[in-house]
Amino acid sequence: MIDIHCHILPGVDDGAATIEDSLEMARAAVKEGITTIIATPHHKNNQFSNPKSTILTKVNDLNTVLKQENIPLTILPGQEVRIYGEVLEDYYKEEILTLNHTKYLFIEFPSSSVPRYAERLLYEIQTEGIIPIIVHPERNKELQEKPDLLYQFVKNGALTQVTASSVAGYFGKNVKKFSEQLIESNLTHFLASDAHNVHNRSFKVMEAFDTIEDNFGVDYIYLFKENAELLLEDRNVMKEIPERIQRKKFLGIF
Output helix, strand, coil percentages for the chain, rounded to the nearest 5: 45, 15, 40
pLDDT tens for the 254 residues of the chain, in order: 999 999 999 999 999 999 999 999 999 999 999 999 999 999 999 999 999 999 999 999 999 999 999 999 999 999 999 999 999 999 999 999 999 999 999 999 999 999 999 999 999 999 999 999 999 999 999 999 999 999 999 999 999 999 999 999 999 999 999 999 999 999 999 999 999 999 999 999 999 999 999 999 999 999 999 999 999 999 999 988 765 544 444 334 33
Q: Find, among 231, 239, 233, the residue nearest to 186 by Cα.
A: 239
Q: How far apart are CA 78 and CA 6, in angstroms?
A: 9
Residue ranges of alpha helices (H) inside 83-137 are 87-92, 118-127
Domain ranges of the chain: 2-251
In this structure, CATH architecture of domain 2-251: Alpha-Beta Barrel (3.20)
- Tell if the pTM clears 0.75, that is, is over it: yes
Tell me if residue 169 falls in helix, strand or coil. coil
Please give the pLDDT value at position 246: 45
Distance CA 250, CA 243 (A): 11
CA 152 to chain centre: 20
